[in-house]
Amino acid sequence: MTESRLLDDLHISEKGCLWYFAYGSNLCRTQTKRRLGTVPTAQVAELRGYRLVFNKRSNDGTGKANLVPNPHHSVWGVIYCCTEPDIKHFDFYEGVEWGHYRHEFVRVITATGQAITALTYVAGEDFIDQALWPSADYLETILEGAKEHGLPAVYIAQLWEWKDRI
């Protein structure tokens, strides 16, 4: 996707936010601050009809977070109120230019029940491998972010189940 096309497609809220749904390691405030220099305002949100998997091949050979459609599951995360430069920074770290991840727009539900269209990252087809597992450190980063933002305890328990399998 070209930069001008991306900027045309971004859904800007009345607050001037470019909403980004984070569900993996970008949940962690420490990581987000390291990437952006600040942590944008965040709201807990649920993405219904998707399942969290770790099938995105990383440079270190481990699995990173990805979303796959599944009508029986939900993925919890946060929506960050981002600027255009924030999105460009996330794009760099997520490897959008090299096809590691691509943009997808999804409808999430906030804790207040509001439906919001947000950008998220989905693994590029050339980087998917069903045999991968996440590293313990990577899962710790996701768990740290999930706890920081107060994601539902049941969902955090599901994340712990991944860690227990490693």
Residues classed as catalytic: 94
Would the annotation count 123 as a binding residue? no
Residue 23 marked in a binding site: yes
The region that residue 117 occupies, defined by phi over 0 for left and psi between -120 and 50 for alpha, beta otherwise, is beta
Q: Is 20 annotated as a binding residue?
A: yes
> Of 66, 29, 56, whose CA–CA distance to 148 is shortest?
29
25 in a labelled binding site = yes
Q: Tell me the sheet residues that pair with 118.
A: 106
Q: Is 113 annotated as a binding residue?
A: no
Residue 61 known to bind ligand: no
Which residues have CB under 8 Å from 1's CB, separation 6+? 9, 96, 102, 103
φ, ψ for residue 135 (rounded to 5)? -80, 160
On whether 93 is known to bind a ligand per the annotation, the reply is no
Strands (DSSP E) contained in the chain are: 18-22, 42-57, 63-82, 101-110, 115-123
> Is 37 exposed, middle or buried (CB count within 10 Å of its CB: 0-12, 13-18, 19+)?
exposed
Task: Detail the residues annotated as belonging to a binding site.
Answer: 20-25, 138
Task: Detail the residues annotated as belonging to a binding site for substrate.
Answer: 20-25, 138
